[in-house]
Chains A and B, each alone.
Chain A
Amino acid sequence: MTTTIYVPCDTTALSLGADRVVQKLQQAADQKNIELHLIRNGSRGLFWLEPLVEVQTPYGRVAYGPVEPEQVDELVSAGLFDGNPEHPLFLGDISQHSYLQQQQRLTFARIGITDPICIEDYIAHGGFAGLKKAAALTTQGIVDEVKVSGLRGRGGAAFPAGIKWQTVLDEPQNQQKYVVCNADEGDSGTFADRLVMECDPYMLIEGMTIAGLAVGATLGFIYVRSEYLLSQKMLDEAIRRAEVLGYLGDNVCGNGRSFRLEVRLGAGAYICGEETSLLESLEGKRGLVRSKPPLPAIKGLFGQPTVVNNVLSLAAVPYIMAHGGKAYADYGMGRSLGTLPIQLAGNIKHGGLIELAFGASLRKVLEDFGGGTFTGRPMRAVQVGGPLMAYLPESQWDTPMDYEAFAKLGAGIGHGGVVAFDDTVDMGEQARFAMEFCAAESCGKCTPCRIGSVRGVEVIDRIRAGEHRDNNLILLQELCETMVDGSLCAMGGMTPFPVQSVMKHFPEDLMASSRPVEA
């Protein structure tokens, strides 16, 4: 008999020993003369349960997790190959898990269920339905559907995608246009882009192809950060297979239009997540930020009209086309429509990917999903939206996850990363790190960011050492204002946000000398 087993192949599962789990399973099966059909699926995003092993049984897929390689033999003895529930790691049908049941997964509906590069799996689960619809529409028809959806850029800036696409569409048609996917997911605490690329790469390919058809672009680039080699590999293979079946190439879905895709690797520069810096890098230059205007939609890659969208924005498009913009816009609140992929990370018990309609409170995410801290200690601060965003004290955790509500706090949602810290955190160190990070990653083009960050580290060190504390606090305040108002892009313009939030909500830590944090 053949037993079908699923073991995820995403970075997180691999980082926790998934390959060795597979090896052990194979050995155990060989010993028992069981033929294994091993499928390397994507991760469902419940990372505290990885590696999550699923077994196909007559009564559905049942899961065990987290499975350490050393536990495989014991699990097999306890009847893993038959889906025996008599083991503490038995989880039953994982799709019924409350962590998943409480979510609204539109973009991530397929994740973890399928083999990421099996194109037949993708199609069997609704893949390319959106592209087929788009291929039958006019360019304006596609753009209108995206406008109806209310989709805003998920990379952090939250600019309406439909308006960006319209701008590129309105540029004269007799010129080369491009679609560029910003896959430089550099924010700490974020991994949703990586999950799309590693676990459902055709969805991104489909979204970019729809964008290409919408604006009349014939060539697309996916700029993947160099830390994500597995993403690059998955995308390259998926692109090759999509071309073979006519979803990419000279005659997309038989409608006579052409669209091709190429993956390009970054080289370890956080600033290249900024769209103009990314374009410079794609052109083979140093990733120096460009002044805007002109907007990339008018003069983008190689001076041509270019749609630059984040992975998650483009990944939302297949759903929008397949089900209609209105179906997507029915989720969410206010001007934040649709769903937000939230990445729960840091010192959290149940970290992972959560896709929810905009509007759920941060506390719900931290408590209902996160289950408190990993260390079991009280939670003290939460940084939402990446290293350039504010640290939120508990008094702000009831804020709904909505762009406008977060902006009112002087915070932001960014790319949806949520990083929790327990009470052993030294917030003075975190403030210092924000400046240190900017000093390491500034592109150097504008003075407030390049010099301000270096001075920021020095001033914080003086405050912590007790040197002219009051005067240096005023200096730090003014330095932050200069960086916010005077920087060319969001790197220098937002680096002060975490620093200011520490000055406001955790001043006692800023004043204290740094203390060693013990493991």
Chain B
Amino acid sequence: MSETTDPKAAVKSMLVAGDWSPEIVRQEVAALQHKPGALLPILHAIQDRVGYVPEDAVPIIAEMLQQTRADIHGVISFYHHFRTHPSGSNLLEVCRAEACQARGGRALERHVQKRLNVGYHDTTADNEFTLVPVYCLGNCACGPSIRVNNDIIGRVTSQKFDQLVDALTTSVLQLK
């Protein structure tokens, strides 16, 4: 499995997010709408490509799937994963679940918020980081854990976090 564990390519596509057009949305819907229960795969595809699910994409998806706009909006808003606005250059998820709490996760959460000067679901003033809570990354024996874009990092200390932030703000594509 040496060749398939490189998430960097996916990260890059996420980082240049922001531009979208109705045509992009139509393409993604058309590619997947034949699948049974296609809406989640469609929303994933749009978010992976654009970086978020634009609100103006909702009527397009609704029309193509022959569902109401309320249906589509209801699904997008139900799931934590889907965003309707672009995130900062880096999506930073901090695990809030019990196993991480047991290893100093609460203190780390406070440190992260203080260091970045944002609360959850907010983006830093320089647009470098969007901070999001996550309930379990499945790295429970080596917490506290965070995820930066697609990379999960274990045994995070305040120091290790500061180093990471410094590295990311120096050069956004240089992870870890």
Contacts and interface: CB of A to CB of B under 8 A. Distances in A.
Given A16-B154, A229-B150, A270-B135, A287 B78 contact: yes
B24 interface: no
Interface stretch (B33-41, B123-131, B165-173): B33-41
A73 B80 CA distance: 43
B108 A267 contact: no
Interface string B136-152: 11111111010100111
Contacts of B98: 188-189, 346, 383, 387, 419, 430, 433
A264 B78 contact: no
Given A40-B5, A48-B141, A115-B1, A267 B81 contact: yes
B43 A286 contact: no
Interface in A419-449: 419-422, 425, 429-430, 433, 437, 440-441, 443
A265, A419, A421 interface centre (most CB from chain B within 10 Å): A419
Contacts of A270: 135
Given A265-B44, A419-B102, A188 B136 contact: yes
Contact of B107 (A9, A14, A264, A519): A519
B82 interface: yes
Interface string B45-63: 0000000000000000000
B140 A351 contact: yes
A54 to B, nearest CB: 15
B43 A425 contact: no
Contact of A281 (B40, B71, B107, B134): B40
Nearest to A272: B79
A22 B99 contact: no
Nearest to B102: A346
Given A50-B142, A347-B103, A16 B155 contact: yes
A440 B132 CA distance: 13
A355 B86 CA distance: 43
A189 B5 CA distance: 24
Interface in A183-203: 185-191, 194
B37 A387 contact: no
A194 B138 contact: yes
Contacts of B152: 11, 14-15
A345 B150 contact: no
Contacts of B134: 227, 268
A500 interface: no
Nearest to B136: A188
A39 B151 CA distance: 21
A446 B16 CA distance: 41
B1 A20 contact: no
Interface stretch (A152-160, A230-238, A249-257, A322-330): A230-238
Nearest to B39: A284
B135 A351 contact: no
B141 A12 contact: yes
A66 to B, nearest CB: 10
Contacts of A124: none
Interface string A7-38: 00101101111011010000000000000001
B106 A269 contact: no
B44 A267 contact: yes
A508 interface: no
Contacts of B164: none
Given A188-B99, A519-B111, A228 B138 contact: yes
A287 B1 CA distance: 34
A282 B2 CA distance: 31
Contacts of A186: 135-136
A269 B135 CA distance: 9
A5 B151 CA distance: 24
Contact of A230 (B5, B154, B176): B5
Given A433-B98, A517-B107, A22 B2 contact: yes
Contacts of B81: 226, 266-268
Rank and list the top 7 A-B pairs by shortest CB-CB distance, nearest first: A351-B141, A188-B97, A284-B39, A267-B79, A345-B140, A346-B102, A268-B80
Given A15-B142, A15-B152, 18 more contacts: A9-B5, A11-B139, A14-B5, A48-B142, A186-B136, A188-B99, A190-B140, A265-B40, A267-B40, A268-B134, A284-B39, A346-B102, A346-B140, A351-B141, A351-B142, A417-B99, A417-B140, A519-B111
21 contacts: A11-B152, A12-B139, A14-B5, A17-B176, A40-B2, A48-B142, A117-B4, A190-B136, A194-B138, A226-B44, A227-B147, A265-B41, A266-B40, A268-B134, A269-B79, A269-B80, A286-B74, A343-B141, A344-B141, A422-B102, A519-B111
Interface of B: 1-2, 4-5, 7, 36-41, 43-44, 71, 74-75, 78-82, 97-104, 106-108, 111, 134-143, 145, 147, 150-155, 157-158, 176
